[in-house]
Structure 1
Amino acid sequence: MEETRVALIGIMVGNRDSVSKMNSILEEYGTYIVGRMGIPYHKRNISVISIVMDAPQDEISALSGKLGMLPNVSTKTIYAKMPSTAE
């Protein structure tokens, strides 16, 4: 079985234009997503989203890269210190 890692992808969405495309991309990686939390910050007109994944390194990187290429979307990925092997 392929080694997986646990990662958190932080996403800042500057306006709603990219939301439908972002959700479509997240759906592609749904089997790897452990949890998702979104917080609209109306005062600043942004949304802050966190995605927790347990996936192979290349899948995490691919998702983060695709999201980061969307207009008005910024991402940052952090990894757990120790790799986690899928059961």
Structure 2
Amino acid sequence: MAKRIGVVGIVIHEPKTVAEKVNTVISDYGHIVIGRMGIPKPEANVGVIALIIEGTTDEVGALTGKLGNLPGVTVKSALTTQSLEEEKNHDR
């Protein structure tokens, strides 16, 4: 299956209660994470994480599914429409 590059946005409500579980899931999928930026907002009791990922749609779906099943976690993803394999072949 071809890989795609994309972004996963994660909003964590009440991060003190679930942040450890979020970090565990992200670590489990570390092989598809290219970059990560996290912004804490303790005054709003919210945290936001942006992940730059490169993986198959199955891998991204598994990551976002596990994160989305955690209580107080909202996840959205956006992937490129063209696979990286198509890009490589196009450049030749």
Residue equivalent to 1:47: 47
How far 1:42 moved relative to its partner?
Answer: 2.7
C-alpha distance in 1 between matches for 2:82 and 2:56: 13
Larger Rg: 2
Question: Following TM superposition, where does structure 1 have runs of at least 4 consecutive aligned residues deviating by more than 4 angstroms?
Answer: none
Residue equivalent to 1:75: 75
Which residues of structure 1 form unaligned runs of 5+?
none
Residue correspondence of structure 1 range 54-69 to structure 2 within 5 A:
54-69=54-69
Which residues of structure 2 form unaligned runs of 5+?
none
The one-letter amino acid of 2:82's match is M
How far 1:44 moved relative to its partner?
Answer: 1.6
Residue deviations 1:58-81, cap 9 Å, x none?
Answer: 000000000000011000011123
Structure 2 residue matching 1:31: 3-state secondary structure: helix
| Paired positions, count | 85
The one-letter amino acid of 1:75's match is V
C-alpha distance in 2 between matches for 1:32 and 1:6: 9
How far 1:4 moved relative to its partner?
Answer: 0.3
TM-score by length of 1: 0.90
Q: Is the 8 A contact 1:7 1:60 kept in 2?
A: no
How far 1:41 moved relative to its partner?
Answer: 1.7
Structure 2 residue matching 1:64: 3-state secondary structure: helix
C-alpha distance in 2 between matches for 1:29 and 1:6: 14
RMSD: 1.4
Higher fraction of strand: 1
TM-score by length of 2: 0.85
